[in-house]
Amino acid sequence: MDELSRRRMLMTGGALGALGALTVAAPAQARPLWTWSPRGSVAGAGTGADPRWVWDAEADPLVASLLDRGDVPRVNELLRTWTKNGQPLPDGLPADLRDFMERARQLPAWADQGKLATAVEFNEKRGLYLGVLYGLASGMMSTVIPKEARAVYYSQGGADMKDRISKTAKLGYDIGSRNAYQPDGEMIVTCVKTRLVHAAVRHLLPQSPHWNGAAEEEIPISQRDMMVTWHSLPTTVMQKLTAWEVPIPAAESEAFLHSWQLGAHMLGIEDEYIPASWDEANAQAEQVLDPVLAPTPEGIRLADILLGLGAELDGGILSRDILGAFTRYLLGDRIAGWLEIPREPIWDPLLRVAWPPFVAVREGLLPFPLAPEAYWTFDEFLRKAALLFLSEARPISIEIPEANRPF
């Protein structure tokens, strides 16, 4: 696959899949006790404190101060020019913000460049699957994480989902790029800017009467909330690839996890909450993600918007019917029912019957059993799965919001 196709696919998969990445929210009604041990984290130790009551002690007061003193418009203007990991911060930033960003842009001591190089190999080989899974497994799952759906819907970007998606797309593309964490890459920049956005949303959303009327918490985007969204991305993706029996060498699997562990750290998640292995990730997800999935009016509206944007794809290969059927196939009848996705008499049975052998053919595990037309359709679906009418002709700038969604 050429670089432009891979870039478009990953940006779009990331767009849906990272829907919650700029406005991650808290889990829903179920509130199980926090029992996951920090011994299973990349830190190997920790306080064991419930991350529901931990936010970002460094970024939150800083960004609240930027907002209160009216510095955000000037900061956003300056940060539009900061796009590469190794690029110096622009002159003119407030001193307290500059100091924070210089610290926040540093990779942790446990970053492993060898694993990051192997992650590039994995992303290039599995990029087509990743686009579909980030988009229609992770992305649509975000609409049934109630507090995430509400935070997205009521925050500033909820009024223009196409613009929101074009910005959140960067996370999915940047983490899968060849130079993600290198000086000429953009993943560190994206994470630091996103961390600032999270802090702004924590300050702003509690001022929204609409969000307050729906929310169960007083402050959104706790450490636990961010881990909920994190699990809807790499953990869910690896679970699906495993279920599809995609053969993944252990080194590549570990490297893919490592790239997302670094992403979590750079987004401001404390190391004691970042799982050290897939076994630990699955155990944590079982506690914090699985029990909270549920429908909300906001999530149903967001899902409808996402499926509608998917129908705007160039070439006309996709439609709401196909996207809805694939969502049902990936996430199951219960979640599809919650999102009011109608059953498709053609696509639903076709996916159930033809998708597993299609994956096996792509992996060389089976001879070619499908009609050429069916194979081509699935292959094109993978290539265009979540290409949500992104405008790639203009720069995508992640910026600190100054207000909530206007009503």
Query: Is a pLDDT exceeding 70 seen at residue 337?
Result: yes
CB atoms within 10 A of CB 401: 21
Query: Is a pLDDT exceeding 80 seen at residue 395?
Result: no
Query: Is a pLDDT exceeding 70 seen at residue 29?
Result: no
Q: What is the mean pLDDT of residues 21-27?
A: 44
pLDDT tens profile 213-239? 998 889 999 999 999 999 999 999 999
Query: Is a pLDDT exceeding 70 seen at residue 298?
Result: yes
pTM of the model: 0.87
Distance, CA of 367 to chain centre = 35
In a domain, 329, yes or no: yes
pLDDT at 279: 98
pLDDT at 111: 98
pLDDT at 200: 97
The residue with greater pLDDT, 283 or 350, is: 283
First to last CA, the chain: 43
In a domain, 43, yes or no: no
Mean pLDDT over each residue of the chain, to the nearest integer: 85
Query: Is a pLDDT exceeding 60 seen at residue 20?
Result: no
- Residue whose pair of structure tokens reads 């190391």 in the numeric block: 271
Query: Is a pLDDT exceeding 70 seen at residue 305?
Result: yes
Confidence of residue 80 (pLDDT cuts 50, 70, 90): very high
Q: What is the mean pLDDT of residues 128-153?
A: 87
In a domain, 16, yes or no: yes
Query: Is a pLDDT exceeding 70 seen at residue 13?
Result: no
Q: What is the mean pLDDT of residues 393-407?
A: 79
Query: Is a pLDDT exceeding 60 seen at residue 297?
Result: yes
The span from the CA of 205 to the CA of 402, in Å, is 11
Beta-bridged to residue 155, according to DSSP, are 404
In a domain, 272, yes or no: yes
Residues 6+ apart with CB under 8 A from 296: 28, 144, 146, 149, 150, 214
pLDDT at 371: 55
Q: 9, 385, 403: which is closest to 211 by C-alpha?
A: 403
Structural domain containing residue 333: 1-26+50-388
pLDDT at 397: 81
Q: What is the mean pLDDT of residues 299-327?
A: 77
In a domain, 274, yes or no: yes
Query: Is a pLDDT exceeding 60 seen at residue 321?
Result: yes
Confidence of residue 4 (pLDDT cuts 50, 70, 90): very low
pLDDT at 381: 60
pLDDT at 386: 41
pLDDT at 64: 98
The residue with greater pLDDT, 384 or 53, is: 53
The span from the CA of 222 to the CA of 198, in Å, is 10
Q: Structurally, how many domains does the chain consist of?
A: 1
pLDDT at 178: 87
In a domain, 307, yes or no: yes
In a domain, 44, yes or no: no
pLDDT at 319: 78
CB atoms within 10 A of CB 53: 12
pLDDT at 198: 95
Assigned token pair, 344: 């498709």
Confidence of residue 360 (pLDDT cuts 50, 70, 90): confident
In a domain, 137, yes or no: yes
Residues 6+ apart with CB under 8 A from 118: 251, 252, 254, 255
